[in-house]
Amino acid sequence: MSADIVLLARAADYAARQHIAQRRKGERAEPYINHLTEVAALLAEATGGDDATLLAGGLLHDTLEDTDATYEDLEQRFGPEVAALVAEVTDDKSLPKEERKRLQIDKTPGKSRRAKLLKIADKTSNLRSMVTSPPAGWSPERLRDYVVWAEQVVRSCRGLNPALDSAFDAAHADAKRHLG
C-alpha cells in the first residue's frame, strides 16, 4: 500500500475524530468533516492528487484552530511538513475576529505555495456553503462582507493553479449573485 494513501486515510480519520461534534454554521448544520473533505477534494482535483502533504493539510487545516489538537501531535502523527502547513494556515484565536481577518489579507501574500492553494480551496468551499446553506443568523450585510473578504484573501493566491482559480471564481460569482 502506498505511503501517501496511508497518510491520507490517517488524516481523514484523525480529522473526523477531532471534529466529531462540530457542525457547519449553515442552516443545514452539516457535519464539519464535509468541509474538510471538500477542501481536500478541491486540492486533489486541481493538482492531480500528486501532493499527499497538501491533501493531508486540507483535511487537517482546522485542527489546530478548532480542536484540542497540538502542533506536536500533528508532527508526530503526520510528519513535520504536514504539521508546518497546518500551522501556516492557522489563525491565532486569541486575537479578535476582525484582527484575524485583517491578518489573513496582510499575511497570505508571504505564505508558501501549498498554503496559498489551501487558502483558495478553503475559501471556495466556504463560499459554496454560504450559497447552499447560509450561516444561521447572519445578516445580508455580513454575508456580503464575507464574500468581499474572501476575494481579498484569495487575491494574492492567484496564478498558482488555474483549476483552483476557476473554482474560486465560480463560487465567488455564485455567492455575489445569491448573497448580493
Phi, psi of 63 (to 5 degrees): -65, -40
Element holding 72 (H helix, E strand): helix 71-78
Q: Per-residue pLDDT tens for 43-99?
A: 999 999 999 999 999 999 999 999 999 999 999 999 999 999 999 999 999 999 999
pLDDT band at 179; cut points 50, 70, 90: confident
Q: Where are the beta strands (DSSP E) in 12-160?
A: none
pLDDT at 112: 98
Q: Is the pLDDT assigned to residue 1 strictly greater than 70?
A: no
pLDDT band at 180; cut points 50, 70, 90: low
Rounded to two decimals, the pTM is: 0.96
Residue ranges per domain, the chain? 3-179
Q: Is the pLDDT assigned to residue 158 strictly greater than 80?
A: yes
Task: Tell me how far apart the alpha carbons of residues 90 and 105 are, in angstroms, rounded to a whole number.
Answer: 13
pLDDT at 16: 98
List the grid coordinates of 34. 464535509
CATH node for 3-179: 1.10.3210.10
Q: Is the pLDDT assigned to residue 122 strictly greater than 90?
A: yes
Q: Which residues are catalytic?
A: 65-66
Read off the pLDDT of each residue in 92-116 and give the average, rounded to a whole number: 96
pLDDT at 136: 86
pLDDT band at 109; cut points 50, 70, 90: very high
Nearby residues of 123 by Cβ (< 8 Å), 6 or more positions away: 150, 153, 154, 168, 171
